[in-house]
Chains A and B, each alone.
Chain A
Amino acid sequence: MWDLISSSIYASLLLSIAIAVIGSLIVINKTTAITGSIAHGSFGGIGLALYLGSSVILTTSLFTALLAVILAVITIRFPHRQDSLIGVIWAVGMSIGIIFLSLTPGYQSDALSYLFGNILLVENKDLIFMGIIDLVILISIIFLYHRFLAMSYDREFLKLRGINADLLYTYFLILTSLTIVMSVRAIGIILILALFTIPALIAEKFTKRFFTMMILSGVLGLIFMVSGILISYYYDISPTPTIVIIASIILLLSLLKRK
């Protein structure tokens, strides 16, 4: 059994670091819709990579980073229209992916696996990429913790302190896009959003400091993933939806408890 699930447990550990930091930042910055837009838009990068025969990780990373920059410009320059424009990017990215897939000869079953993901099928190269992105995330949060927190609370005040808040926000969205790329193989485009926001939403309710929120959401993310993997293994069901359902039940219970 361990041989079959060991890679997915390592993937869970590595993903929990990203869930802790980026998931918490997504929730406190209210960028869930933007994250959904980048996640779905990343399908454009996947389609492009399969069409070109290039590296999916590299091509999708560049594509989603570009989407992140476009979304940062939209939210900074057109805040009153951001809701609709985020939806447009969401649809355009997916459309690009579908067009490239239809131009690619042969049946692209691999492309569909990115939509739903399977944590049991992650490979060593995926784990290495996850490790590299985790390292970037950890270094970023060590140096930028106070700035990210100030950005989440009051971006205008950060500007007044002489800090380029718009650049910091753009960097945060690029980090989000790289996190999506590292998760897409294991979690899938459609369910990434749930896994990155539910643990942070629960943690936010029970913590007084952002640091403890990050730790708690990382731990919750790990528990949800490992329990989901074990249940899906024993009952032979798809792991990612199982993880999301477990997380959603705990979220619901946490909301009821608060009431």
Chain B
Amino acid sequence: MKAIEVKNLYFKYEKEWVLEDINFELEDKEFMAIIGPNGGGKTTLLKLLLGFLSPTKGEIKIYGKPPKENREIIGYVPQHTNFSLDLPITVFDIVLQGRLKKGKFFYSQKDKEKAKEILDTLNIYNLANKKIKDLSGGQRQKVLIARALVSEPKILMMDEPTSAIDPSGQKEILDLIESFEVTRLVVSHDIKILLRDVDKIAYIHKKAVIHEGPKLNIPKDKHFCEVELIEFLKDESCGI
């Protein structure tokens, strides 16, 4: 079964088309990067994939079902910069939120053990009792990744996971994402993501340009600017 199927997707906000005729598929355990300029529709596409928005036309399926009907298998990692730092909440309490679900009002011992295990895996168990305010940007992003992973998702969707993080923190986050053995979809305006082991790229600027495997052979030492990237994709005959 395909992890993601997007067919003839259109989305209109007020009177303007934000996305037009988007088509792509993603296989189980594949890693996809969604890139493109700010305001090009990346975040809208992510919200459609998460089921927070409904398509104006077209169809989205996540493991065979519309996103709203299959949310339990989605792990979502928003940008760490979206959240208030004043809230009196510890890292452990944030991670546990990934175990919440319909009809469940209290955390079980198993939930707490799972949260400890994930924090341990991500090497941040020492931060469990810290207030979110006391962490660095990279650590905050790892906490949100832990919250997504603790629900044992089949697919991870991430919105700008490396934004507002120092270079060493960015590398650490990308290494981590690369190592996960689940389907991954990362929205990023930072094209350094393409130097990673991605299986597919969607370049979104109202319309989508999809570049599919075999895996890209982008020279690992080369940093692309957007124009160079498009030229590179052209060379790869991906249908631009």
User: Chain A interface (Cβ within 8 Å of chain B)?
Assistant: 28, 30, 143-144, 146-147, 149-150, 152-154, 156-163, 204, 207-210, 212-213
Contact = CB atoms under 8 A, between A and B. Distances in A.
A152 B90 contact: no
A225 to B, nearest CB: 23
B100 A163 contact: yes
B4 to A, nearest CB: 16
A143 B89 contact: no
A208 B96 CA distance: 16
Nearest to B131: A208
Given A209-B88, A209-B89, A157 B76 contact: yes
Contact of B97 (A143, A146, A207, A213): A146
Given A149-B89, A157-B76, A160-B71, 15 more contacts: A146-B96, A146-B100, A147-B100, A147-B105, A149-B93, A153-B89, A156-B76, A159-B71, A161-B97, A161-B102, A162-B71, A207-B88, A208-B131, A209-B89, A213-B88
Chain A interface secondary structure, helix, strand, loop or mixed? helix
A156 B87 CA distance: 17
B88 A163 contact: no
27 contacts: A28-B88, A30-B84, A143-B105, A146-B96, A146-B100, A146-B105, A147-B105, A149-B93, A149-B97, A150-B100, A153-B84, A153-B89, A156-B78, A157-B76, A157-B78, A159-B71, A160-B50, A160-B71, A162-B72, A163-B100, A208-B90, A208-B131, A209-B89, A209-B90, A209-B93, A210-B88, A213-B88
Nearest to A211: B88
B211 interface: no
B88 A154 contact: no
B30 to A, nearest CB: 21
List 4 tightest A-B contacts by C-beta distance, closest first: A162-B102, A150-B97, A161-B100, A213-B88
Contacts of A208: 88, 90, 129, 131
A219 to B, nearest CB: 15
B94 interface: yes
Given A150-B100, A156-B78, A162-B102, A204 B52 contact: no
Contacts of A163: 100-102
Contacts of B83: 153-154
B151 interface: yes
